[in-house]
Amino acid sequence: MSSTRIFWTTVVALVVFNIARGLGLFGPLADAVELVLALALTAVALRGALTKADIGLERSRVGSGLKWGGAAFALVFIVVAIAGVIPATSGFLHDSRGDVPLWRLLLDLVWIALLTVIPEELLFRGLLLGAAMKKWGTGIGVVVTSVLFGFWHIFPTLSTAGGNEKFSQADSSTLGRIGLVAGSVVTTTIAGLIFSWLRVRSRSLVAPMLAHLGTNGIALTVAWFVVR
């Protein structure tokens, strides 16, 4: 399978999956299905035109990935921790998903790593970015896959915005929901650009995985403290 076919096969698979997830067809198994989908598509790509280096899975680059990803993780921790203690910004982290016992928080962090970070990074900074860079070059590949990453978050935004103290009021109107979705697409596209830069700079998928884990996991952890 050529890199072009890998790219478009992955895009189509993600569109179908996202629509099905938005309609609730997978129920509570949606995240597990996403992981299986990511692993299956990766296996197919590795038997086609992409190599481990193209996807960012080269063992020799793990050290570089840990260095760049660790630095990004630390930066995210500092920024989110500061936002959590400033009254003007702490409300944005007041999320009902953080209103859980400690054991559930720890379990959720494991789930984030296994069922969000790993599949999304395999799909977007691994398969899609690897195939897109072979097809269009690094610059265009980074932009295209980052925009796709932004649109990927439309359904998750619609399903979770109501649990946030700052966003719940906007989520109650059609115009407000449109604004929330647009804001989410823009911010996650920017996050995609940063994750892609880390992937290209380190030549390892470990770097964006750590940055992604920091973005999601630290925000949830700070929310756990904020709601108390």
pTM: 0.88
Q: Which of 116-120, 146-150, 173-177, 191-195 has the lowest mean pLDDT?
A: 173-177
Confidence class for position 90, pLDDT limits 50, 70, 90: low
Domain boundaries, the chain: 3-226
pLDDT greater at residue 101 or residue 163: 101
pLDDT(228) > 70:
no
Q: What is the mean pLDDT of residues 64-90?
A: 85
What's 114-161 look like in SS3? Answer: HHHHHHHHHHHHHHHHHHHHHHHCHHHHHHHHHHHHHHHCHHHHHHHH
What confidence tens digit (pLDDT) does each residue in 149-183 have? 999 988 777 666 544 455 555 555 667 677 778 88
Confidence class for position 79, pLDDT limits 50, 70, 90: confident
Largest CA-CA distance found in the chain, in angstroms, rounded? 53
